[in-house]
Structure 1
């Protein structure tokens, strides 16, 4: 048995798991070869319908309504999705391989041989939403930092290093590092999906299946399949498709900073009079609004987007249900409406800083992100500044 192959023999069923690296030339060849050799009754691929559409339909990005994404509060999710795609695309570009090409080959080969295929992965939006919802403030900060650093990394992996990612020793080390750094993210991205993928593969119900999955899921899926077959685990994973409600602390946390700011300004009024209180209010608006506007300026946002960031940041702080990124992002997408060419080029543009600034879709996302970060930093700076005025 190869490191990349696991055959799970269950009562009346044979499930062949192929572990791949998503930008591996060897994986592409192996997937096609195994399907042709084994001629299974069904092929399962680690994709959801949405990701398959984005891979195969050239106009999928053209249907994107950026302003609607911001209004629905999905700006960070779209950013995360693009960053992850960008990272894989850059690695694949070095090797002349498109990310997910082994999944496409699995589908093409199955279609050629008349073998039915199914998608067995959870929707990427659900996975990212669950990961985000389960993170605390510190974990969210580390996750954002990881996403930003991966977006601008210049690290290149050789073909040998890519192939090594499929080895158990390498994978175990990577999973251990991820578990130590971001345990809830590892649980959502890896452990939950092991269970989800296994359940969906099991639901196929045919006597012989080939399942094409990321190498990191290989042994986890095998374990879950054996547990399901033995009756020790429920194959119903509908709970894993639900977004957990925010915790009580998360609901309260959004009000903490505005409550502190308002309390300091009110206290200043009673202790030192309206003049000091007004000075405090001005300091806060300047710190909060100026840094949000600076973030938009760094993103090279439209002048109106910069102005909206400055005015909107204090409003967004007082009302935690909205963010300054909502105001600035919608303004940017309105003043510089994404073009068809932006949608067509987004897959290439997210791979470089120049492309991100050139593309109007990613530019709007950058405005959304940097204005949000600027406003948040402004609030953290404003609080000790206000407290200093109160002490005078």
Structure 2
């Protein structure tokens, strides 16, 4: 058996065998099967949490999704980003004729076949996202989103030889050092904290021999952190929500209303000018966002009418109403949910699938409304100052 990509650690008379994998590598899946069958471990740890485990094991999970519930729970943007990020791995997996996450599936299957206890060793993905988002400023969030989307929609291919090189520790360390310089706030919750969490879960896995199936990027960190005791409670705490967005969210509409009312009292003509600016900019830009998403004309009209009202209430958003209408008039069929994982491979697929089109209508109508609020708000202040 080749020892390449395998790290062996002995600690307190317990043996840990870490397999560094690439998530879309056929060789990785084959190596996982070979190692577990030969080592016959007491436990097999996989780099999954419960949510991703269910996603990996349930190919038909999309069929059960209620798009109306997604809209009501305000999870449209999060779902769209999850689909966008996963599409990159799925595209590479398709290129190599292997299911994304096959090495994790192999670890799960081999654990069952050998009678080893399966341990889901990774931190909850929502907690990781929450800690990433909470640690970044507005500029960092915008740069991150733009780079994620650029990577998702890039049609660049990668050779299997390059993919195997990605699993070497030296290459991974070098990438992470670069990553740390570009996004120091992102590397900590995404890599460092998960190294600590994974190390603790692996260390306390049952039995005297433990095999861990991991992305190669985590192996160096886990090798270092497994010698320490980690505070899982601290690592799973969600960052406190800032009150600033809520304060700003209510301050802007209250200021807009106050300025328009005051201007109406002192100069009705200028007040009508402000009100018209608010209606036109909010409604038209939100409608344009829905059009960009190829929304149904009724959904576009909904965005046009809803945006000037919803922009005055931080608890509502024009995109939710437009998306709800889009879902009603262009209700997704079972086939749309079944083809979702394939459609997200391309930009065309995102716009073609009825499910993702609903999500795009929500997101783009909201972006348009936000731009409209900024432009109209600036114009209202300009008119107010002019007629003081």
Question: TM-score when scaled to structure 1?
Answer: 0.91
Q: Deviations over 1:199-237 (max 9, x none)?
A: 222231321100011111111122221112xxxx43xx1
Following superposition, the deviation at residue 256 of structure 1 comes to 4.6
1:251 and 1:185, CA in 2 relative to 1: closer, same or farther beyond 3 A? farther
How far apart in 1 are the matches of 2:162 and 2:349?
27
How far apart in 1 are the matches of 2:253 and 2:173?
43
Q: 1:247 aligns with which of 233, 236, 242?
A: 242
Following superposition, the deviation at residue 361 of structure 1 comes to 1.2
Q: Deviations over 1:352-384 (max 9, x none)?
A: 122222211111111111112111222232233
Secondary structure in 2 matching 1:118 = strand
1:238 alignment counterpart: 233
Tell me if structure 2 keeps the 8 A contact 1:83–1:150: no
1:176 and 1:369, CA in 2 relative to 1: closer, same or farther beyond 3 A? farther
1:148 and 1:284, CA in 2 relative to 1: closer, same or farther beyond 3 A? farther
The ranges of structure 1 where at least 4 consecutive aligned residues each deviate by more than 4 angstroms after the TM superposition are none
1:58 and 2:52 aligned: no
1:350 alignment counterpart: 344
1:305 alignment counterpart: 299
1:164 and 1:380, CA in 2 relative to 1: closer, same or farther beyond 3 A? farther
Q: Deviations over 1:64-85 (max 9, x none)?
A: 1112112212222211211111
- Give the gaps of 5 or more residues in structure 1: none
1:262 and 1:169, CA in 2 relative to 1: closer, same or farther beyond 3 A? farther
1:16 alignment counterpart: 17
Tell me if structure 1 keeps the 8 A contact 2:290–2:364: yes
1:3 and 1:98, CA in 2 relative to 1: closer, same or farther beyond 3 A? same
1:159 alignment counterpart: 160
1:278 alignment counterpart: 272
Tell me if structure 1 keeps the 8 A contact 2:117–2:206: no
Following superposition, the deviation at residue 337 of structure 1 comes to 1.9
- Give the gaps of 5 or more residues in structure 2: none
2:108 alignment counterpart: 107
How far apart in 2 are the matches of 1:363 and 1:11?
54
Secondary structure in 2 matching 1:227 = coil
Alignment of 1:10-159 (within 5 A): 10-159=11-160
Task: Tell which deviates more after alignment, 382-391 or 299-308.
Answer: 382-391
Give the CA RMSD over aligned residues.
Answer: 2.2
2:289 alignment counterpart: 295
Following superposition, the deviation at residue 104 of structure 1 comes to 0.7
1:276 and 1:92, CA in 2 relative to 1: closer, same or farther beyond 3 A? same
Question: TM-score when scaled to structure 2?
Answer: 0.92
1:210 alignment counterpart: 211
